[in-house]
Structure 1
Amino acid sequence: MVSERGLEVLRAIVQDYVDTHEPVGSKAIVERHAFGVSAATIRNDMALLEDEELITAPHTSSGRVPTDKGYRVFVDHLAELRPLSSAQRAAIGSFLDGSSDLDDVLSRTVRALTQLTGQVAIVQYPSFARAHVTHVELVQLGGGRMLVIVVTDTGRVSQRLTFVRDEFDDSDLARIRAELGTLLVGRSVREGLLRIADRLSEASPAAAPHEAATDEIVRAVAEELEEFRQDRLVMAGSATLARRESDFRGSIYPLLEAIEEQVTILRLMGEMVTDSQGLSTSIGRENEPFGLAEASVVASDYDATGSRARVGLLGPTRMDYPTNLAAVRAVARYLTRMLEEDESSR
């Protein structure tokens, strides 16, 4: 069993290894930290930590580095979140203020996080299956191009360009808008999709003008609403992995592949367990089922008008957990507040 001082030694090893990227020895701990005991006593503590598989020696006669299990103990029991500085908080505000819609807000969020932390930043779109459609607009651009715009009560504005066979005059366009309004406005995304499916399954009147082109527009709206129901991620900072390649024992390609495909990271983030502060961490071998055994993910929940999602960071296991957890928590709180203010202003 590890003593209280032993756990403090573990804390020192984690902090020093993250700061220096060098294995940590007993002499360095005595010099850098006020334990008030000899290097020989610290070596005994380190031997116990090694027996518990919390630290390991990467080379013969070297210092020690934390194991994945050691990082887990550190995060669960020893890490103290470091409050962001006023400059860092101001940077978050300046990045996010003035965002025009949800897509813009989330894009700015990941850019702010990666600049703050130097890690890959991830933000999950909230699920909008229960959102309600407030407006559908059609803009004819010429050449058979039609811009379909869908707005929901969560503040999401989406646009899809579709190609139709006909050109519409103002009265025809007004008729289609009215039909879409009747089908969708005031209804949930889920209900709207069901009503569109019923509409497309009905036999079209033979004499109905522009019926085939109208069906194409309705299908485009359905495709847009279907995306509202799908989990999606916005990410930034993948180039930082190349600069941190030495932090990975093996190849970084599994991480790059996961970033490109998104599905793996979505599953991982969906299964992470949230603590009482709304924070979650998945470290090293805990990510082995997802093929990311050399990476860690830290995340915080945010609230998008009743629908919860996560904002997080992906990086090597040798990361500054206290600072990164504080950063995702601060950004998640700011994001929640922004979305709540936007909702109340409508």
Structure 2
Amino acid sequence: MGPDDRKLAVLRAIVEDYVLTQEPVGSKALVERHQLNVSPATVRNDMAALEDEGFIRQPHTSAGRVPTDRGYRMFVDRLSTVKPMSSAERRAIERFLVGAVDLDDVVHRTVRLLAQLTRQVAVVQYPSLSRSRVRHLELVPVSTTRLMVVMITDTGRVEQRLVELPGPAPADQVLSLRQKINERLGGVQLSETPSLVQGLVESVETAERPTMSALATVLLETLVERTEERLALAGTANLARAGLFDFQGSLRPILEALEEEVVLLKLIGEVGPAITRVRIGDENEIDNLRTTSVVSTGYGPGTTMVGGLGVVGPTRMDYPGTIAAVRAVARYLGDLLAKN
């Protein structure tokens, strides 16, 4: 093994020991606990070099060393294997999620499960409306001049709105409009519906036009132009576990940041392809989260990403285990949405 490989092995050993013991790591402990096959003097030299390069540092009160954000980044970038989930863990995930009755239940089960598996704060974004497709639109007469529009998406989201009509709509007209709307919008991604909704008004007979105009306005305003996204959060109590952060004073700003939905969406809602993102310490754009690391990924049926999920924890986290848990839960959630 060359000097760089050996230094990486020493850094890996320091990260693993520090995550496990929460104590700064000394050269003697490294030689005893890890088969590095080199002398303690060599390990001390490697540690001095790692410190000079900014991968580890010495806390004031200790002879041992702890990883820096840069050290964790090197460790994560060079991870050769992510800890696979055991078959018992995989079965537990499946059982826990399969019993869900509706989308709300699915999301809340997912976020609780992720918090339990990682013992950190878990965040799950509901499937984004703009990335969902219309499965079905139902028109339910509430009175002669009011209709309830119920939209069901392929991701299980149900949105409903009341529509005030300009005049009474006979039952056969409501049935006719429902059929036309579903023919035009069924299976279409919500982000692509505005031009189709506009076209619906022009495509109906004159008698149906006032009712369809009122429906189109509500569809455009509430189903297409909705920008807010919904999130579920669990496990904030995990942050308060003894010794989790080097500075207990850093908890309050973290908790305050986690109360901001905009912040959480920034952390996990930038849904791209299903890659796992790991942001460590100062890599976080949000000042109050600079003492934390965020592991996030997208999820969705098949290759379509409809939402994000992830965990927030201390920079001193079990990265291989956390990455594996986030990926596994995202995969099961995607499979579940694909089956529905």
Aligned sequence identity (%): 46
Query: What is the CA deviation profile of residues 68-119 of structure 1, one whole-angstrom value per residue up to 9, with x for unaligned ones?
Result: 0000011111463111112211110011114344443333222211111111
Gap change, CA 1:11 and 1:227, over 3 Å in 2: farther
Match of 1:157 in 2: 157
Q: Is the 8 A contact 2:55 2:71 kept in 1?
A: yes
Q: Is the 8 A contact 1:272 1:282 kept in 2?
A: no
Q: How does 1:1-346 map to 2 (within 5 A)?
A: 3-78=4-79, 80-129=81-130, 131-139=132-140, 147-152=148-153, 154-160=154-160, 162=162, 174=175, 177=178, 180-181=181-182, 184-185=185-186, 187-196=188-197, 219-226=217-224, 231-243=229-241, 246-247=244-245, 249=247, 250-269=249-268, 278-288=275-285, 291-308=288-305, 309-342=307-340
**Cα distance in 2, alignment partners of residues 288 and 340 from structure 1:** 33
Q: Is the 8 A contact 2:127 2:157 kept in 1?
A: no
**CA-CA distance at 1:7 after TM superposition:** 1.6
Gap change, CA 1:288 and 1:131, over 3 Å in 2: closer
Gap change, CA 1:176 and 1:200, over 3 Å in 2: closer
Query: What is the CA deviation profile of residues 304-330 of structure 1, one whole-angstrom value per residue up to 9, with x for unaligned ones?
Result: 344224332111101100100111121
Gap change, CA 1:41 and 1:181, over 3 Å in 2: closer
Gap change, CA 1:238 and 1:198, over 3 Å in 2: farther
Tell me the TM-score normalized by structure 1.
0.78
Alpha-carbon RMSD across the aligned residues, in angstroms, is 3.9
List gaps (5 residues or longer) in structure 1: none
Gap change, CA 1:242 and 1:217, over 3 Å in 2: farther
Gap change, CA 1:78 and 1:128, over 3 Å in 2: same
Gap change, CA 1:182 and 1:45, over 3 Å in 2: closer
What SS does the corresponding residue of 1:307 show, helix, strand or coil?
coil
Query: What is the CA deviation profile of residues 235-272 of structure 1, one whole-angstrom value per residue up to 9, with x for unaligned ones?
Result: 32223223367415342333333332232233344669
Gap change, CA 1:251 and 1:89, over 3 Å in 2: same
Gap change, CA 1:107 and 1:156, over 3 Å in 2: same
Gap change, CA 1:317 and 1:217, over 3 Å in 2: same
Q: Is the 8 A contact 2:268 2:297 kept in 1?
A: no
Q: Which amino acid aligns with 2:322?
A: N
Q: Which amino acid aligns with 1:247?
A: F
Q: Which amino acid aligns with 1:26?
A: S
**CA-CA distance at 1:273 after TM superposition:** 9.0
Aligned length: 335
Q: Which amino acid aligns with 1:114?
A: A
**CA-CA distance at 1:26 after TM superposition:** 1.7
Q: Is the 8 A contact 2:263 2:286 kept in 1?
A: no
Gap change, CA 1:262 and 1:227, over 3 Å in 2: farther
Gap change, CA 1:9 and 1:261, over 3 Å in 2: same
Gap change, CA 1:280 and 1:190, over 3 Å in 2: closer
**CA-CA distance at 1:158 after TM superposition:** 0.9
What SS does the corresponding residue of 2:232 show, helix, strand or coil?
strand
Tell me the TM-score normalized by structure 2.
0.79
**Cα distance in 1, alignment partners of residues 281 and 300 from structure 2:** 27
**Cα distance in 2, alignment partners of residues 269 and 244 from structure 1:** 26
**CA-CA distance at 1:341 after TM superposition:** 3.3
**Cα distance in 1, alignment partners of residues 102 and 176 from structure 2:** 28
List gaps (5 residues or longer) in structure 2: none
**Cα distance in 2, alignment partners of residues 130 and 124 from structure 1:** 12
What SS does the corresponding residue of 1:71 show, helix, strand or coil?
helix
Q: Is the 8 A contact 2:198 2:216 kept in 1?
A: no
**Cα distance in 1, alignment partners of residues 173 and 301 from structure 2:** 37
Q: Which amino acid aligns with 1:263?
A: V
Q: Which amino acid aligns with 2:85?
A: L
What SS does the corresponding residue of 1:3 show, helix, strand or coil?
helix
**Cα distance in 2, alignment partners of residues 268 and 233 from structure 1:** 12
Q: Which amino acid aligns with 2:257?
A: A
Q: Which amino acid aligns with 2:36?
A: F
